[in-house]
Amino acid sequence: MQPVENFAPRVLAWFDEHGRKNLPWQESKTPYRVWISEIMLQQTQVTTVIPYYQKFMTSFPTVEALADAEQDEVLAHWSGLGYYARARNMHKAAKMLVDEFDSEFPQTVEGVCELPGIGRSTAAAILSISRGVQAAILDGNVKRVLARFHAVPTWPGEKKTENAMWELAEHYMPSERCGDYTQAMMDLGATLCTRSKPQCLLCPLQSDCQARLSQDPTQFPIRKPKKAAKPEKSIQLLVLVNQQGQCLLEKRPSTGIWGGLWSLPELASDESVVLHIEQRFATQVSAVTPLSPFRHTFSHYHLDISPSKIEIADTKQVMEGEKYQWFNQQDAMAQGLPAPVRSILEQLN
Ligand code: SF4
């Protein structure tokens, strides 16, 4: 992502001709007025915000008026805008500004970020628009413009990508007309480089915009990668029960899943239980009762388990030893058992 020359001058020249300049919060750009507009504009369209903003400013024209208001009154002015945490934080921040900052906005991005509900980009917008501070923003609109202009190949939500985009945003921030540039970038994203229908032919960045040159600018910003679905495996677990009501446990190998634990004899999901028992244990099956199947999820796959209770008549052939052992229910439950095996044995009670 190499920065290009002449980025800000092009954006500013476009803004001079096409940018929005008659919005109510542009009349008198105090930090307080810009702050309220920035918070209202988060997740909300300009046209929706305008009447709310005007009414809010009539009721709470200063930070002191907002700090003095009851929270209910502030929320009533917000009613319909949604995301009410924004209003509650704003009210809290107004009290903090009055009580701790002598009603003055801090001078730095870090200082403004200490107020509730204000992040780095919003702080930069407030300071650059109201005071001309050279602080870059990276809100949703700017992210979209930069991700397209540079055809950023990774999802901007990834920390590494986001950091690289902050660097670009700071690099392009001019040292003069900082407020106009901030407003210009917001306008460019909101009116031309829109989410689904970017109007590249009207855009001042079109000549070297990598997304436009790719023919499909809407593929940027890259979407959040979907988590790969976990693979699924299925097995049968067999509860062999002898005439004394004991069940057979099998010691797992020390490596692999459930390593070293006592488990139940396992077979593939498509194998015949009866044949398997006859071959593996050289004994006859008297009855097979399917138990409730269930899914057990490991960090890297899902295991669908179909358990069955198997009654066998002759247990002499089933040799005990290091690998197999008969346990009564109580002793079995006292062993180190994998959680799914424990829950199968509990079903038998
Ligand atoms: S040329 Fe198109 S995709 Fe590129 S920044 Fe402009 S509007 Fe967005």
- Which domains are seen in the chain, by residue range? 7-219 (1.10.340.30), 232-346 (3.90.79.10)
pLDDT at 318 over 70: no
Tell me which of 11, 146, 206 to substitute to probe ligand 1's pocket, judged by most ligand atoms within 8 Å of the beta carbon.
Answer: 206
- The reply to whether 38 belongs to the active site is yes
Does 189 sit in the ligand 1 pocket, CB within 6 Å?
A: no
Choose the residue to mutate in 14, 152, 185, 209 for probing ligand 1, maximizing ligand atoms within 8 Å of C-beta.
Answer: 209
Count Cα atoms within 13 angstroms, Cβ side, for 300: 1
Q: Is 212 in the pocket of ligand 1 (CB under 6 A)?
A: yes
According to the model, what pLDDT value does residue 66 have?
98
For the CA of 198, the nearest atom of ligand 1: 7
Q: Residues near 72 by Cβ (< 8 Å), separated by ≥ 6?
A: none
Give the residue from 133, 84, 86 showing the smallest Cα distance to 105: 133
Q: Which amino acid is at 282?
A: A
Q: What is the mean pLDDT of the chain?
A: 92
**Cα of 128 from ligand 1 centre, angstroms:** 24
Summarised one tens digit per residue, pLDDT across range 221-233 is 999 988 888 999 9
pLDDT of residue 124: 98
Whether 203 is in the pocket of ligand 1, judged by its Cβ within 6 Å, is yes
Q: Which of 38, 64, 176, 311 is catalytic?
A: 38
Q: How far is the CA of 75 from the centre of ligand 1 (A)?
A: 38
User: Which residue CA neighbors atom 8 of ligand 1 most closely?
Assistant: 193
* Residues sharing a CB contact under 8 Å with residue 283, sequence separation 6 or more, in sequence order: 277, 312, 313, 314, 315, 317, 318
pLDDT value, residue 232: 95
344 lines ligand 1 (CB under 6 A): no
Does residue 326's CB lie within 6 angstroms of at least one atom of ligand 1?
Answer: no
pLDDT value at residue 313: 76
**Which pLDDT does position 207 carry in this prediction?**
96
**SS3 state at 164:** helix
pLDDT band at 348 (very low <50, low <70, confident <90, very high): confident
Whole-number Å distance, alpha carbon 191 to ligand 1 midpoint, is 11
Question: Of the residues 4, 168, 195, 203, which should be mutated to test ligand 1's pocket, given the most ligand atoms within 8 Å of the CB?
Answer: 203
The pLDDT tens digits of the residues spanning 155-211 come to 999 999 999 999 999 999 999 999 999 999 999 999 999 999 999 999 999 999 999
What is the 200 CA–ligand 1 centroid distance (Å)? 5
Residue 320 pLDDT = 67
| H helices, E strands: number in the chain | 15, 8
Q: Is 151 in the pocket of ligand 1 (CB under 6 A)?
A: no
**Residue range 258-309, pLDDT digits in tens:** 888 889 999 999 999 888 888 888 888 889 999 999 999 988 899 999 999 9
Residues 6+ apart with CB under 8 A from 24: 37, 50, 53, 54, 57
39 confidence band (pLDDT: 50, 70, 90): very high
Determine whether the shortest distance from the Cβ of 198 to ligand 1 is under 6 A. Answer: yes
Residue 321 has pLDDT above 80, yes or no: no
Q: How far apart are the first and last CA of the chain?
A: 64
pLDDT the model gives residue 150: 97
Nearest ligand 1 atom to the CA of 217 is 3
| Three-class secondary structure of residue 23 per DSSP | coil
Residue 253's pLDDT band (cuts 50, 70, 90): confident
Residue 322 clears pLDDT 90, i.e. is over it: no
- Residue 142 near ligand 1, beta carbon < 6 Å: no
Q: Which atom of ligand 1 is nearest to the CA of 144?
A: 8
